[in-house]
Amino acid sequence: MMRDLHDHLKTRYRLGDLAERRGNLAFVDVERADLRALLVELRDVHGFTHLSLLTAVDWIEEGRFQLTYLMNNRAANRTLGLRVFLDRADPVGDTIHDLWPTAATYQRELREMFGIAFPGSPRVDEEFILEGWTDMPPYRRDFDTLAYSQQTFSDREGRETHDPRSHMAKKLYPEGQR
């Protein structure tokens, strides 16, 4: 069924190959320019009325972000994921809050956690869960969580750790330590 839908849509939209995960779950790559029209058609014509979620993946090696729009057809119990790619150096997405009001919340979260802009989305630049955050958006893969944690929080006094290898050298063959 998903394949029929894919065949039907790809005559009018620039779609990638259908990646089927299960019988009722599949993903497809979409051009950013086609996204809005495709979402509207999926919602109004094909019964994908529910936006299950909107999230992002940081493909740092490829220099791009992936937005994933998970669309659900409740009646047919089917989910289709649309994947749109943005330039990581200048990540700007298109707001769809007018299609699904909940999208505004997702977009606000993505703005905060990945630094992806959604111009025109309500309250998109307001803090979401990170209060007073000044660092790089923390879901970006080049964000060093450990370094941030060490800089931000102090250790309790008396903490001491041991490297297994040098600890064993010290205990088992102190004369052989170099």
Partner 1 sequence: MGSLRDVLSPFTAWKHVIETPVTIRNPIGREAADGYRGFHQNDIEKCIGCGSCEVICQNAAIDMVPVSDPVDGDSGLRPKIDYGRCCWCALCVDVCMTGSLTMSNEYTWVDTDPDAFRFIPGVDPKPWDDLEKGYRREGGRVLTGAERVEMGELAPEARIDNFDEIVAGYTREQAMIEADRCVECGLCVATCPAHMDIPDYIAAIREGDYDLGLQILYETNPFSEVCGRVCTHKCETACAARHEGDPIAIRWLKRHIVDNVSEDRRLEIVGTPQTLPTRRKVAIVGAGPAGLTAAYDLARQGHAVTVYEAQDKPGGMMRFGIPEYRLPYAALDRDIAVIAAQGVKIETGVRIGHEITMDRLRAENDAVVLSIGLHIGRSTRIPGTEGGGVETAIDLLRRITAGEEVPVPKQVLVIGGGNVAMDIARSMARLQKVKHGAVGVTVTALEDFAHFLADREEIEESLEEGVEIIDARGPQEVVRFKSGNRKGEVKGLRSWAVTSIFDDKGRFAPQYDQGDERLHPAEMVVEAIGQAADVSILGEDLTEALDWNRGRLAVDVAGRTSEPWLWAAGDAVHGPDVITAVADGHRVAASVGAMLMAMGEVAR
Q: Tell me which residues touch partner 1 (CB under 8 A).
A: 145-146, 149-150, 153, 155-156, 158-169, 171-173, 175-176, 178
Q: Among residues 61, 55, 64, which one has the least CA distance to residue 89?
A: 64
- Minimum gap (Å) between residue 8 Cβ and partner 1: 38
Residue 77 or 150 with smaller CB distance to partner 1: 150
- Minimum gap (Å) between residue 170 Cβ and partner 1: 9
Distance of alpha carbon 130 from alpha carbon 109, whole angstroms: 10
Residue 11 or 158 with smaller CB distance to partner 1: 158
Residue 1 or 168 with smaller CB distance to partner 1: 168
3-state secondary structure the chain: CHHHHHHHHHCCCCECCCEEEECCEEEEEECHHHHHHHHHHHHHCCCCCEEEEEEEEEEHHHCEEEEEEEEEECCCCEEEEEEEEEECCCCECCCCCCCCCCHHHHHHHHHHHCCCECCCCCCCCCCCCCCCCCCCCCCCCCCCHHHHHHHHCCCCCCCCCCCHHHHHHHHHCHHHCC
- Minimum gap (Å) between residue 171 Cβ and partner 1: 5
- Minimum gap (Å) between residue 151 Cβ and partner 1: 11
- Minimum gap (Å) between residue 152 Cβ and partner 1: 10
Residue 22 or 171 with smaller CB distance to partner 1: 171
Residue 4 or 126 with smaller CB distance to partner 1: 126
